[in-house]
Chains A and B, each alone.
Chain A
């Protein structure tokens, strides 16, 4: 069980400062919890990259191919002449392709979001309900008492309202 130092802040700016200082002091990358997305996180904690765009792109691509295969494939499996059109009729099948490309794009984006943000959470993680209302919370794991003291000092210097100690299993 890892323990975490948790600092509660009333405004995003001091939370960011604290997070930056913790990172600078070699605590690894601290986690920020906030009721709204904080601007400027990337400047302090480093640039974030996510794989979601790849999911969206390949989802759309797979969907497009699947859409055309569905329309053309089923027509070839059971060919029956309709309205004097060829069995593989391009304009309508392209519409099916288009719709399925979007459908798969959407579904894959959701999968990409869930995978890259590690949701749904299976086990309990460090969380403070205040973070959903109006508090900004910085958490960072620590190894021993010495670590804890240093982290506590950094947090309170940055103006934390409250400093707590939480385990992952809480």
Chain B
């Protein structure tokens, strides 16, 4: 092959919008809001699994809480005819993520599992990703947090403890995904099977409102869920192409 045609091949490959290679997996979550009771067990599970610091009362009042997943509450109408609805919001792992383009040091990028990753070591703390994220799910470490004894004993050894000055957010429990992929490889299997990976929030949901899996296989539970007619994505009009689908029967 001549040098010129090699150059042209490379040019076409790297000028292709979207991803220059197909994903190995396409991890997706579906959240059935009709099943969600707003119990916030997912928040607690996430806190325990991912070593999320507890900032304390004072810092909470100043708006520096860290919650990778939060249950937003919206009230409609006036008491006594008030209606309350819940929506759990975590990182939506957008395929066209606004936060990724803005990071000057590429500390956040898309990996081969279709996940929006955050590399704590590389982060220099410009906080621009938090500004660019329309879902407001990126949380910043304003201090070095520590865990009073004996709480440090319950830290998850599979997850880092983040220092001051870095951004953090939901990873879809990437440590569990990695583990499942390792198992799959050890067993000589080629792919992770449906139901083999569950992030902490999915695992803990008492009403099974959260479903997680690989969207690439149309037989998977999550693929069925996201083809439900009730499905929608939060702020879909911003073209973020997010990987979290919500199911909700809308009152006409």
Task: Report if A and B touch in the complex (beta carbons < 8 A).
Answer: yes
- CB pair A86–B96 under 8 Å, yes or no, is no
Asked if B98 and A83 make an inter-chain contact with CB atoms under 8 angstroms apart, the answer reads yes
Please tell me if the beta carbons of B15 and A84 are within 8 angstroms of each other in the complex: no
Query: Does A164 make an interface contact (CB < 8 A)?
Result: no
Minimum C-beta distance from B6 to chain A (A): 12
Give residues 89-111 of B contacting A (CB, 8 Å). 95-101, 106, 109-110
Q: Does A76 contact B (CB under 8 A)?
A: yes
Query: In whole Å, how far is B128's beta carbon from the nearest beta carbon of chain A?
Result: 13
- Number of cross-chain contacts by CB at 8 Å: 48
Q: Is A81 an interface residue (CB 8 A)?
A: yes
Whether the Cβ atoms of A88 and B109 lie closer than 8 Å is no
- Cα–Cα, bound, A131→B241 (Å): 71
Known contacts A76-B10, A76-B14, A79-B14, A84 near B106 by CB under 8 Å:
no
* A81 and B112 alpha carbons, distance in the complex (Å): 9
Q: Which residue of A lies closest to B239 (CB)?
A: A84
Q: Mark B212-252, 1 if CB is under 8 A from A, else 0.
A: 00000000000000000000000000000100000000000
Q: Interface 1/0s, chain A 121-160, versus B by CB < 8 A?
A: 0000000000000000000000000000000000000000
Q: How far is the CA of A72 from the CA of B7 in the complex (A)?
A: 13
Whether B101 pairs with A86 at a CB distance below 8 angstroms is no
Q: Are A86 and B14 in contact (CB under 8 A)?
A: yes
Cβ of B20 < 8 Å from any Cβ of A?
yes
A1–B38 CA distance with the chains assembled, in angstroms? 96
Given the contacts A76-B10, A79-B20, A86 and B15 also touching, CB distance less than 8 Å? yes
B11 touches A (CB below 8 Å): yes
Check if B15 sits within 8 Å of A83, measured CB to CB: no
Partner of B11, one of A81, A82, A88: A88
Q: Closest residue of chain A to B96, judged by CB?
A: A84
Which residue of the partner chain A has the closest CB to B117? A80
Q: Is B16 an interface residue (CB 8 A)?
A: yes
A87 close to chain B: CB less than 8 A: yes
CB-nearest residue of chain A to B19 = A81
Chain B contacts for A82, CB-based, 8 A: 100-101, 106, 109-110
A72 to B99, CA, bound (A): 20
Chain A residues whose C-beta falls within 8 Å of the C-beta of B56 in the assembled complex: none
Q: Taking the nearest CB of chain A, how far is it from the CB of B114, in angstroms?
A: 10
Interface flag for B17 (CB, 8 Å):
yes
CA distance A80 to B14 in the complex (A): 11
Q: How far is the CB of A34 from chain B (nearest CB, A)?
A: 49
Please name 16 further chain A to chain B contacts, defined as beta carbons within 8 Å, in addition to the given A82-B101, A85-B17, A88-B11, sorted by A numbering.
A75-B14, A79-B14, A79-B20, A80-B109, A80-B110, A83-B99, A83-B100, A83-B101, A83-B110, A84-B19, A84-B241, A85-B101, A86-B15, A86-B16, A86-B20, A87-B13
Complex A-B: 8 CB contacts under 8 Å? A76-B10, A80-B110, A81-B20, A82-B101, A84-B97, A86-B17, A86-B18, A88-B11
Interface residues of A (CB under 8 A from B): 72, 75-76, 79-88
8 A-B pairs with the lowest CB-CB distances in the bound complex, closest first: A84-B96, A87-B14, A83-B101, A83-B100, A81-B110, A82-B100, A88-B14, A80-B109
